[in-house]
Amino acid sequence: VESLSKEPKISQELNIYDNKIISKDFLDEQGIIFNDKWRFSYGHRFIFNQINYELAYKHYRAIISYYPNNAYAIQIISRACYNLGYMHYYGIGVEKNIDKSLIYFNSSIKIYSSHKIPSIILIFYIKMNIYFYKLKKKFYIFKKILSL
């Protein structure tokens, strides 16, 4: 009777059962979660994959938190950091937060430096957008001062 009444524990941070990673097959699940392209099925019809961004966010957070630290896992952890940064920058499934996205992109570079090109490009893009925004703001203030 006692074992039947036990409910699985739910992690507050990740909201997944027993603090376990959702799947062992990260590459396939990652492709399914982020695949927003049309696929041709064998039944001669096109299927549009549904994207579950909440599950993807929990999944990537779980990879970063609980995945073992070895040579193969480092690439997966780095990719998970990149995907979390991408999600935070564009506000996909989570609240848009540029500071968090920069942290995740930099973490991706530090974890696995051989796969740093996508992260570096996005960091450069973010920093250039911030720079141009500040430059426009200063130019607008300067223009306002001259018009007085």
106-119 pLDDT per residue, tens = 998 888 887 778 88
SS3 39: strand
Which residue is listed with tokens 């064998």? Answer: 42
How far is Cα of residue 72 from the mean position of the Cα atoms in its chain? 19
pLDDT of residue 15: 41
Residue 16 lies in a domain: no
Residue 14 lies in a domain: no
pLDDT of residue 16: 40
What is the average pLDDT score of the chain?
Answer: 71
User: In this model, does residue 79 exceed pLDDT 90?
Assistant: no
pLDDT of residue 2: 42
20-24, 77-81, 125-129, 139-143: segment of lowest average pLDDT: 20-24
Residue 21 lies in a domain: no
Query: Which band of pLDDT confidence, cut at 50, 70 and 90, is reported for residue 96?
Result: very high
Residue 127 lies in a domain: yes
Number of domain units in the chain: 1
Residue 100 lies in a domain: yes
Residue 71 lies in a domain: yes
Burial class (CB in 10 A: 0-12, 13-18, 19+), 65: middle
User: In this model, does residue 32 exceed pLDDT 60?
Assistant: no
Length of the chain: 148
Helices (H), ranges, 3-116: 26-34, 53-66, 71-90, 98-111
- What are the C-alpha distances in Å from 24 to residues 10, 28, 66, 67, 76? 19, 9, 12, 10, 11
pLDDT of residue 114: 79
Which residue is listed with tokens 């695949």? Answer: 35
Q: State the average pLDDT over residues 54-60.
A: 82
Residue 93 lies in a domain: yes
Global pTM reads 0.60
Residue 77's domain spans which residues?
Answer: 26-147
Residue 49 lies in a domain: yes
- Which residues contact residue 104 at a Cβ distance below 8 angstroms, ignoring those fewer than 6 apart? 81, 82, 84, 85, 88
